[in-house]
Structure 1
């Protein structure tokens, strides 16, 4: 496919297209503890998009979603992978989502909290990953409960345990894994939100760049790339988003 050279320049003013990768969402990206190599669905998409543009790729890796958003907004990276959120949308032009991920609450086995409606009371403190989609969503939605921000999303359950908090909120799969490892914990029976995971580019790069990225995502969904990437990385509990 021929892409307008102006779009190529918009995405890669340095001659290399830089992808912002967030390790805070283990469904989409992880770093191997031995080799240090970063892999996952978002990395697969980043490589394929660089090939689509005909450009070399550089991965710019962060531990949190907030850092990843800032890097794209501040032009330290050229595109990235984010949960769609109106606050982030002030500086980031999102594609339609490519993956849907469920957000759940976690409590102790003997907690009186049984349903999502039980969470939002003044006596409860809810652990979330600082700057995560859950943080942004629950900051808007919770009216009485107090939010306690862990430094990263993978550290949510550790913060919940160490500080004796009442509730933890995060990616269902991460919470399930932590609950299985620690014991004495349980997930509530229904999700409190669906995270719409999308690609994004800074609005300052222009509408043409945003349109090219959006078209790329739709092609990847339609031709089975996303489904294959999820299967290839053994991801369960996340689903390919429907066509825009």
Structure 2
């Protein structure tokens, strides 16, 4: 695909295009050995900048909520987020490019065995502030109390330090934390499928939103997203079907 000058201006009004990168989700981005952001979202950001024919500037955050806010306030020109209706008030989303599973984790001795056991008044659920599963569980849980950790990578730390009953998050992050802290287990079923998409401020117009959706579909169809997942050794996430 080729972008006409009006689309390029919509994405990069400052000259370079600024990509909001969230390091709070290791499936999407992490710091490499040199300390630079690396991952599927960074690869996609570079590919978009190349197609636009402009320089890329990475605006890096440690939590999804901060990344969303940067794009909503136009301190970044596009970003990588889980689709959510609340975020959709300020951000125009593409179709998802990756699907990620959200799971609950408890202690081995916990009587909680099924997702249906979670939503009880005596239960406290640790989530990452502003994350997709924070937004989802805030709507879905009617009785359990939600306790918000500063970021998604600190969910298990908060869960342990505050002696909470349940931690909620991305399956791969919870599994990694469970290996470092014995005596923890994931429940057997996911509570949500997180649809990771790209997004641009709604204020940039419908043409820019359409161009971003077209770009994402091409990146999926060409095998780019699948190759990026493999290149970065990401297991447990899948390429989203065509939109």
TM-based fold match above 0.5: yes
Structure 1 residues without counterparts, runs of 5 or longer = none
Please tell me whether residue 215 in structure 1 is matched to residue 214 in structure 2: yes
**3-state SS, counterpart of residue 105 of structure 2:** strand
Q: Which residue of 1 aligns with 2:6?
A: 6
Please tell me whether residue 185 in structure 1 is matched to residue 184 in structure 2: yes
| Distance across 1 between alignment mates of 2:239 and 2:125 | 29
**3-state SS, counterpart of residue 69 of structure 1:** helix
Q: Which residue of 1 aligns with 2:29?
A: 29
Deviation at 1:2, TM superposition (A): 3.4
| Distance across 1 between alignment mates of 2:99 and 2:24 | 16
String of CA shifts for 1:80-114, please: whole Å, max 9, x gaps.
Answer: 00000000000000000000000000000000000
For residues 50-89 of structure 1, the aligned pairs below 5 Å read 50-89=49-88
2:105·2:185 contact (CA, 8 Å) conserved in 1? Answer: yes
| Distance across 2 between alignment mates of 1:191 and 1:242 | 19
| Distance across 2 between alignment mates of 1:31 and 1:61 | 10
**3-state SS, counterpart of residue 97 of structure 1:** coil
| Distance across 1 between alignment mates of 2:130 and 2:12 | 27
**3-state SS, counterpart of residue 42 of structure 1:** helix
Please tell me whether residue 101 in structure 1 is matched to residue 109 in structure 2: no
**3-state SS, counterpart of residue 103 of structure 2:** strand
Q: Which residue of 2 aligns with 1:161?
A: 160
Q: Could you say what the CA RMSD is over the residues aligned between the two structures, in angstroms?
A: 0.7
| Distance across 1 between alignment mates of 2:175 and 2:19 | 29
**3-state SS, counterpart of residue 226 of structure 1:** helix
| Distance across 2 between alignment mates of 1:49 and 1:219 | 11
Q: When the two structures are superposed, what TM-score results if normalisation uses the length of structure 1?
A: 0.99
Q: Which residue of 1 aligns with 2:121?
A: 122
String of CA shifts for 1:179-220, please: whole Å, max 9, x gaps.
Answer: 111100000000000000000000000000000000000000
| Distance across 2 between alignment mates of 1:188 and 1:2 | 46
| Distance across 2 between alignment mates of 1:145 and 1:173 | 24
| Distance across 2 between alignment mates of 1:223 and 1:36 | 29
2:68·2:87 contact (CA, 8 Å) conserved in 1? Answer: yes
Deviation at 1:31, TM superposition (A): 1.2
Q: When the two structures are superposed, what TM-score results if normalisation uses the length of structure 2?
A: 0.99
Structure 2 residues without counterparts, runs of 5 or longer = none
**3-state SS, counterpart of residue 227 of structure 2:** helix
